[in-house]
Amino acid sequence: MTVDEVADVVVEVMGLEDVEKVYRPMLHGIGWPGDVKRVALRIDRLMMLGFKPRMRSREAVARTVMELLREISKES
């Protein structure tokens, strides 16, 4: 998933409308100082040990947002 796609999921799950994403160019492209421009994670070694993912990235991000919102509402 791209950062843009993660932002889209967060906006969707939170039920936000008219959200404007702002991209600020930095010295070496878009991002922030120390930002990693591209990360590709592999789980093949984990799977050889018996790990089986229960959800895809989009679902994991959506569930995380829902859980964080639930925690925030408990604290209010």
Give the start-to-end residue ranges of the domains of the chain: 3-75
Q: In percent, how much of the chain has pLDDT > 90?
A: 66
Residue 63 contacts by C-beta under 8 Å, 6 or more apart in sequence? 55
**What value does the mean pLDDT of the chain take?**
89
What would the mean pLDDT of 11-15 be, rounded to a whole number? 97
Q: What are the backbone dihedrals phi and psi of residue 29, each rounded to the nearest 5 degrees, phi first?
A: 110, -160
- Alpha-helical segments (H) within the chain: 3-14, 44-48, 57-75
The pLDDT of residue 6 is: 93
Q: Is 67 in contact with 11 (CB distance < 8 Å)?
A: no
Burial of 23 from C-beta contacts in 10 A (0-12 / 13-18 / 19+): exposed
pLDDT band at 1 (very low <50, low <70, confident <90, very high): confident
Q: Tens digits of per-residue pLDDT, 26-62?
A: 666 666 677 777 788 899 999 999 999 999 999 999 9
The CATH code for residues 3-75 is 3.90.25.10
